[in-house]
């Protein structure tokens, strides 16, 4: 009896939480929340791109498909290219590995959209240099990378899932590549991060829970990097 009372007293003094459905050793979903609605990181990705939608213009490049280009670029886009690392994607107009200096044209794009891609490339510095080279003078890269995230098992087993970032590493990566202006924006908080790791979806959180910002919990990092030079030079 004394031992039981001591445990209750300890729990009361320490403000022990009731974990409920979250006291589990496997996540609610292993599909990032895709099977429950819109994944939480996708909410932040779309928010970042909407904030910079006016940069999506001219000749653009996006990875895997051109969904964000079509949705946010509108009439500002004059040509939309799709990049894929391997042949077989019917939407791809360019086949190239960003970590290699081949296949990607130089000074060709006004905007490159690179969402959740860099973590799957081992040679980050080479990739940043090649993306910078592919931009026209004054061109803009809009990239997102994971900060707090589970492993993507699908990607890990096929070509790799190598990196997680901080706002500092993301900024330095593109400053070293030569970008004249790098703006980094982070999204997330401890509750959003926990929910994302459990595989919950955007629809299961309130708007204020999603939009609260805590700089110590960088769930998603958005990067806007501008190439030096006159945008009308090419």
Render pLDDT for 25-65 as a digit per residue (tens, 0 to 9).
Answer: 999 999 999 999 999 999 999 999 999 999 999 999 999 99
According to DSSP, the β-strands at 220-226 and 181-187 are: antiparallel
Look at residue 1 and tell me whether its pLDDT is greater than 80.
Answer: no
- DSSP, collapsed to helix, strand or coil, labels residue 83 as strand
Q: Are the CB atoms for 192 and 217 separated by under 8 Å? A: yes
Q: In the prediction, which pLDDT does 10 show? A: 53
Task: Please state which of the four CATH numbers 3.90.1150.10, 3.40.50.150, 3.40.50.1000, 3.60.150.10 is assigned to the domain occupying 38-136+145-226.
Answer: 3.40.50.150
Token reading at 105:
């044209």
Q: In the prediction, which pLDDT does 71 show? A: 97
Residues 116-140 have pLDDT tens digits of: 999 999 999 999 999 999 999 999 9
Q: In the prediction, which pLDDT does 11 show? A: 52
pLDDT band of 234, cuts 50, 70, 90: very low
Q: In the prediction, which pLDDT does 45 show? A: 98
**Spatial distance between the Cα atoms of 110 and 107, rounded to a whole number of angstroms:** 8
Q: Are the CB atoms for 57 and 220 separated by under 8 Å? A: no
**Sequence spans of domains, the chain:** 38-136+145-226
Angle between helix axes 40-51 and 190-198 (nearest 10 degrees) is 120
Q: Where are the beta strands (DSSP E) in 6-116?
A: 58-63, 77-84, 94-95, 109-115
Q: In the prediction, which pLDDT does 3 show? A: 63
Which DSSP state fits 202?
G
Q: What share of the chain is helix, strand, coil (3-state, %, to 5)?
A: 40, 20, 40
Q: Are the CB atoms for 219 and 149 separated by under 8 Å? A: yes
Q: What is the mean pLDDT of residues 148-161?
A: 96
Residues 191-208 have pLDDT tens digits of: 999 999 999 999 999 999
Q: In the prediction, which pLDDT does 109 show? A: 98
Look at residue 178 and tell me whether its pLDDT is greater than 80.
Answer: yes
Look at residue 22 and tell me whether its pLDDT is greater than 80.
Answer: yes
**Spatial distance between the Cα atoms of 147 and 208, rounded to a whole number of angstroms:** 20
């Amino acid at each position: 009896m004394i031992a039981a009372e001591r445990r209750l007293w300890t729990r009361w003094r320490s403000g022990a939480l009731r974990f409920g459905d979250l006291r589990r050793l496997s996540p609610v979903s292993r599909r990032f929340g895709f099977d429950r609605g819109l994944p939480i990181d996708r909410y932040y990705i779309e928010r970042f791109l909407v904030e910079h939608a006016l940069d999506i213009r001219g000749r653009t490049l996006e990875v895997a498909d051109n969904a964000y280009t079509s949705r946010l670029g509108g009439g500002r886009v004059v040509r939309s290219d799709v990049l894929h690392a391997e042949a077989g994607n019917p939407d791809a107009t360019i086949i190239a590995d960003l970590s290699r200096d081949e296949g990607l044209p130089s000074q060709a794009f006004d905007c490159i959209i690179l969402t959740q891609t860099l973590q799957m490339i081992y040679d980050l510095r080479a990739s940043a240099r090649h993306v910078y080279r592919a931009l026209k003078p004054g061109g803009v890269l809009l990239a997102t990378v994971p900060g707090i995230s589970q492993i993507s098992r699908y990607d890990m087993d096929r070509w790799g899932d190598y990196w997680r970032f901080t706002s500092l590493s993301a900024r330095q990566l593109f400053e070293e590549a030569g970008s004249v202006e790098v703006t980094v924006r982070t999204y997330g908080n401890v509750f959003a991060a926990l929910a994302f790791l459990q595989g919950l979806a955007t629809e299961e959180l309130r708007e204020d829970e999603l939009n609260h910002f805590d700089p110590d919990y960088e769930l998603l990092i958005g990067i806007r990097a501008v190439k030096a030079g006159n945008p009308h030079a090419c």
